[in-house]
Amino acid sequence: PHGGGSDAAAGEAVAAPVDQQQQRPISSILIIIAMQTEATPLVNKFQLKEDLDSVFPKGAPWVRYYGTYKDLQINLVWPGKDSTLGVDCVGTVSAALVAYAAVQALNPDLIINAGTAGGFKAKGAGVGDVYLISGVAFHDRRIPIPVFDLYGLGSRKPCSTPNIVKDLNLKIGKLSTGDSLDMSPQDEASITANDAAVKDMEGAAVAYVAEMLQVPTIFIKAVTDIVDGNKPTTEEFLQNLAAVTVALDESVTQVVDYINGKCLCEL
């Protein structure tokens, strides 16, 4: 990393200046999780405290937990419960909003979007598998007009983590995001085109915000139900949610332990 490259001779390959952020140990991580059931064990594991004097706008249901774990400042945010219906605010709208507000307020070095997902047995997924995601895209934003089609697809890459891939025993696969738990035939065609092993309701929305605000992001998704299996998704999801959350939280802890003391470029 010598010089910025603006004075480089034409055609000469010049390494991009290494971002200073890449060279110092990660100090602050933001974990974004959609459901309370998924968040609570991690809040306990990392001994995080709830922020009762919210950094978020008045009226937003978003909840922040914070604390120090090893050498890391951890913030965990959860979009909270719908004020009228009392259920977790799952889906892309809440995920994007809480991601935006949390990054603005907390300026993290790295985002971890963790959660459960539906898996595809055709891509090798089984219930309880935990995936480190290698690419994200949407499957329910169909805009068949040139270039708008690519905007709708919203395909993005997580930050590069070759050492996590090598050193931790996580499955690797692509994630497809949409706002429905079920899967319409049109969604299915898009998910197949996205080459996804898992589908969720938040990942690509978090990726959109993370790219906009330039925060490196990784995605960890645990499989609660097999979308191309023969059990009804809702039943299988609810039946497995608690047990799979244990596997998810173990993997998130492994990744956080791995990140501790390392720079982004060592991941």
Q: How many residues bind ligand ADE (CB under 6 A)?
A: 12
Mark whether 225 is an active-site residue: yes
Residue nearest to ligand ADE (CB): 118
Instruction: Judge residue 209's burial from the number of C-beta atoms within 10 Å of its C-beta, 0-12 exposed, 13-18 middle, 19 or more buried.
Output: buried
Selected from 60, 168, 181, 263, the binder of ligand ADE by CB under 6 A is 181
Mark whether 12 is an active-site residue: no
Nearer to ligand ADE, 109 or 187 (CB): 187
The answer to whether residue 117 forms part of the interface with ligand ADE (CB under 6 A) is yes
Where are the strands (E) in the chain, listed by range?
28-33, 49-50, 63-69, 72-78, 110-119, 130-138, 171-177, 196-200, 217-226
The answer to whether residue 224 forms part of the interface with ligand ADE (CB under 6 A) is yes
Q: Which stretch binds ligand ADE (CB under 6 A): 45-53, 74-82, 114-122, 127-135?
A: 114-122
The answer to whether residue 176 forms part of the interface with ligand ADE (CB under 6 A) is no
* Element at 165 (helix H, strand E): helix 162-167
> Residue 225 CB, nearest distance to ligand ADE (Å)?
5
Q: Measure the CA–CA gap between 202 and 136, rounded to whole angstroms.
A: 10
- Cβ within 8 Å of residue 121, ≥6 positions away: 226, 228, 229
Selected from 43, 96, 102, 201, the binder of ligand ADE by CB under 6 A is 201
3-state secondary structure (DSSP) of residue 203: helix
The answer to whether residue 91 forms part of the interface with ligand ADE (CB under 6 A) is no
The answer to whether residue 237 forms part of the interface with ligand ADE (CB under 6 A) is yes
The answer to whether residue 138 forms part of the interface with ligand ADE (CB under 6 A) is no
Residues designated catalytic: 38, 225
